[in-house]
Amino acid sequence: MADDLSAVARFLYEAGTLKHARRTGWWMAGITQPESVAEHSWRTSLIASIIARLEGADPARAAFLAVWHDTQETRTGDVNHLGKKYSATADPQAVTADQTAGMPDLLASTIRDLVSEYEGNDSAEAVCARDADKLECMLQGLEYKAQGHVNAQRWIDNSKARLTTETGRRLADELLEQGPLDWLRVAIGEKT
């Protein structure tokens, strides 16, 4: 008999709420409609695969870790850095255990292991995924700053300072040298 997938189906609906959950830290920078947690996680996963490949780690594993890194926020919300000072931080592993309850054992253990690896920062892929999280925040800050949100500079500086991989630091330097539309200028032949 096949595994019962009802808990998996429920989780897929739950994960969909991350498309609507806003990243709250940006409100302090004056951004009233910041990106969603899902949007952040997608680009974090892409960046994780890039950093991992260039660092000699497994890009698919790093992206896999990154795509799951904020899934607990369906239950806890996105608590920004200041908010964490005043409230107890939920244990991502405990939240994940609740989220995966009732799922087929193979799937549930895989998800729990991913979250544990990411939180423990105990593999090259986890280090790359965590750097991707910081680099994505920096990149988002650069985009917000280009839109006129000068207070995003704090997030840019703090994120850059927390990078640990050589590739992450080099990418940060490149991003700081470019503007959000330089890719378009190059693509249409205006800039080389």
Interval 39-73: pLDDT, tens = 999 999 999 999 999 999 999 999 999 999 999 99
Its pTM stands at: 0.93
CA pair distance 29, 44, nearest whole angstrom: 21
191 close to 185: Cβ distance less than 8 angstroms: yes
Q: Which residues are bridge partners to 36 per DSSP?
A: 22
List alpha helices for 17-58, DSSP H: 37-55
Query: What per-residue confidence (pLDDT) applies to 1?
Result: 45
135 close to 39: Cβ distance less than 8 angstroms: no
75 close to 95: Cβ distance less than 8 angstroms: yes
Q: Show pLDDT as tens, one digit a residue, over the chain (192 residues).
A: 468 899 999 999 999 999 999 998 899 899 999 999 999 999 999 999 999 999 999 999 999 999 999 999 999 888 777 777 787 778 889 999 999 999 999 999 999 999 999 999 999 999 999 999 999 999 999 999 999 999 999 999 999 999 999 999 999 999 999 999 999 999 999 976
Half-sphere exposure of residue 25, counting CA atoms within 13 Å on the CB side? 21
- Residue 14 C-alpha from the chain's centroid: 18
6-187 belongs to which homologous superfamily? Answer: Hypothetical protein af1432 (1.10.3210.10)
